[in-house]
Amino acid sequence: MIEFLKGRFPIAAYCPPNPEVVFGGRKFPSAVNDLQYDRMRELGINLVFGSGEGIGTPQEKEVFIAMELCARRNMFYLPTDQIAREYCSNGAELPLWQDLSEAKKKDLDERFEKSLQRYSKNAGFGGIFFCDEPGAVAFPAIAAAQKVFRRICPDKLFYVNMFGYCVTPAQFTYGNMLAKVEPEDCFAEEPKERRYANFVKRYLQQVHPEIYSYDFYPMVTLGGIRTAVHAGMYELFNLTADCIRASEKEIPLWCFLQAGGRWENSLNVRVPNAAEILLQVNVLIALGAKGLEIFPYYFPACWADDPNVEAGLVDVDGNLTDLWHYYYRAFRPLLIHGEFFGSAKYKGYLLSGKYCGLLPDEGALSTVLWNDCIYRGDLKSGIRIEHFSPLLRVESTTELIVGCFEGECP
């Protein structure tokens, strides 16, 4: 575990308060200020992920302000750095890393090291948000950058966020790169769980990450069923955890939480209510998650012209939304017992009762497109256990998942 996270349960915010920026002809004033960072601290956030603002952008100065604001609150900021684009290029504006000569790769490493030296000594620096959802073709480049980073910042986090399992073979292979050849066969295997396992295995072998993070947003409306929860909230977590255990490595698994919906033309992604926020947080903890990440925390200015999206714990004008209060309630146990959850050993989960979920009968469900994605209960994957001392038994009328941990209470 990264030293500065030792004994802490990570709660991270992606899409932090917006810097001063112009989108759609509208100027948004900077929200990188004491008020907004106090709100994050009050909520329980201890990690802040940089987004469009970053090192090498017109908003670079606000990255340094954000790190200072974090330092004063015992929080940590992970900036983005434009130089990462040269490692994870899609081959359009910049050449692919694998096509660079050895001399150019060496030059890139040296420039990355020089860039890190500019900001890595800041007290609020927690690491770098290096890239989001890369394809496997980028793994060697990521590993090369990680080697540079670990030499300069051995006690900080080199953060990469990964795909979930509902993507195409081309995305697994290339991410957002321009595909020049067919996707690799191992990323086209059926079912999707097999190709995702191949993807995770490749990443763990080539990159050797400190943590594994993925994003997946399970609160959906399929066939007009407004209570449907995508099975991936349960299955994807356990599939990924199984892959990590098979690697025989101790790698904490972090997951994103859905804070909104109807974004980027995904109108079937609904806005979670209070119960669904509690469900996400508590299920992931019960299944053994070692870090939780919110997307989006602050409504990104680049979405301001979207007439459908409703998202963020803070709106684009800096006002708290209902989601902030829902998450405040959901995170209270983690703040009280965060030191325990940050260091305890996960032993598995107990399962009791029958899932209801306010779903229609199977006859009605069978007519819904993609109905196999709807969670119906009776979870079988992951570390399911039957006994855990000192509990004698667990009984419930509706489905109940009880996470079991061993550790010293502080």
8 A C-beta contact, residue 173 and residue 181: no
pLDDT tens profile 136-158: 999 999 999 999 999 999 999 99
d(Cα 390, Cα 228) in Å, to the nearest integer? Answer: 34
Residues 6+ apart with CB under 8 A from 43: 11, 313, 324, 327, 328, 331
- From residue 349, give the alpha-carbon distance in Å to each of 372, 379, 381, 406: 24, 10, 10, 12
> What tokens appear for 311 in the block?
């998202």
**What pLDDT is attached to residue 94?**
87
> What tokens appear for 71 in the block?
């330092």
**What pLDDT is attached to residue 289?**
97
d(Cα 77, Cα 46) in Å, to the nearest integer? Answer: 9
What is residue 374's DSSP assignment?
A: B
**Low-confidence residues of the chain: pLDDT under 70:** 1, 178-180
8 A C-beta contact, residue 379 and residue 234: yes
- 361 phi, psi to nearest 5 deg: -70, 170
- 352 phi, psi to nearest 5 deg: -145, 155
d(Cα 243, Cα 238) in Å, to the nearest integer? Answer: 9
d(Cα 176, Cα 174) in Å, to the nearest integer? Answer: 6
**What pLDDT is attached to residue 271?**
97
**What pLDDT is attached to residue 179?**
62
